[in-house]
Amino acid sequence: MNITQILFWFLSVVALFSALMVITNKNPVYSVLWLIVTFFAISGHYILLNAQFLAIVNIIVYAGAIMVLFLFVIMLMNLNKETEPQKNRWLRMAGAVAGGCLLLVLVAALKDTDIKQQQAMVNGGSIGLIKNLGKELFTTYVVPFEISSILFLSAMVGAVVIGKKE
C-alpha cells in the first residue's frame, strides 16, 4: 500500500461519512458544515488525480462561495427542532421510495457503460494542470464552453431582474 492508496481510502471514508452526516443531522447548520467537509474530501480526490485546477475551483466556488450563501439563509432563518415542520410518516416513505427509484435508474444506466473498464490515472497525467486544461477548453471544447458562459450570464441577468422588481 503506497501513500496514494492510503490517502484514497482515508478521503473516501471521510467523504462518505460526512455525506452521511449531512443527511442524518437534525440541525441544518451542522448539515451545511458537514457538506463543506464533503467538498474538501472530494477536492482531495481531485488532487490525487492531479486535477489541481478542479480541486481548487471546487473549494473556491462550492466550499467558499455557495456554502456561505447556504449558511446565510439557514442562520438568518434560525431553523431548529422546535420551529421545523414535522413531516408525516407517509411523506418520508414516499421520499425513500422515490430516492430508491432514482438509485435504481442510475445503477441501471451506468451498469453497461465503459466507465468501469477505464482505469483512473492516479498521480499522473497533466490534463488537470491549468495550462493544458485551458488550452483544451479554449480549442477543442470552445463552443460548449462559451454556451455555458451565456447560461451563466442569463442567470445573472435573471437575478438582477428579480432583485430590482420592487
Partner 1 sequence: MTLLVIDWWLILEKALLIGGIIGLSFFIAMYTTLAERKVAAWLQDRRGPNRAGPFGIFQPLADGGKLFFKEEIIPLASNKFLFILGPALAMITALITSTVIPWAAPFITKGGNVIPMQVADVDMGILLVFSIVSVGVYGIMIGGWASNNKFSLMAAVRGASQMVSYELPMGLCLIAVLFMTGSLKMSEIVANQVQNGWHIIYQPLGFLIFFICALAECNRTPFDLPEAENELNFGYHQEYSSMKLGFYLFAEYINMFISSAVMVTLYFGGYDIPFVNEASWGLSSFWMSLISFSVLMAKISFFLFLFLWIRWTIPRFRYDQLMNLGWKKLIPLALVNMIITAAVLLLLNK
String marking each residue 117-146 x if it binds partner 1 according to CB under 8 A: ------------xxx---------------
From the CB of 75, what's the least distance to partner 1, in Å? 5
Quote the CA–CA distance of 51 and 58 in Å, as a whole number: 11
Name the burial class of residue 33, with classes exposed (0-12), middle (13-18) and buried (19+) by CB atoms within 10 angstroms of its CB: middle
From the CB of 97, what's the least distance to partner 1, in Å? 35
Quote the CA–CA distance of 21 and 23 in Å, as a whole number: 5
Choices 63-71, 99-107, 142-150, 153-161; region in contact with partner 1 by CB under 8 A? 63-71
Q: Do 22 and 34 touch, CB atoms closer than 8 A?
A: yes
If one asks whether residue 3 binds partner 1 (CB under 8 A), the answer comes out as yes
∠ CA 21-24-26, rounded to 5°:
110
If one asks whether residue 51 binds partner 1 (CB under 8 A), the answer comes out as no
Using CB under 8 A as the binding criterion, the count of chain residues that bind partner 1 stands at 25
Of 132 and 148, nearer to partner 1 (C-beta) is 132
String marking each residue 6-35 x if it binds partner 1 according to CB under 8 A: x----------------------x---x--
Quote the CA–CA distance of 7 and 130 in Å, as a whole number: 23
The length of the chain in residues reads 166
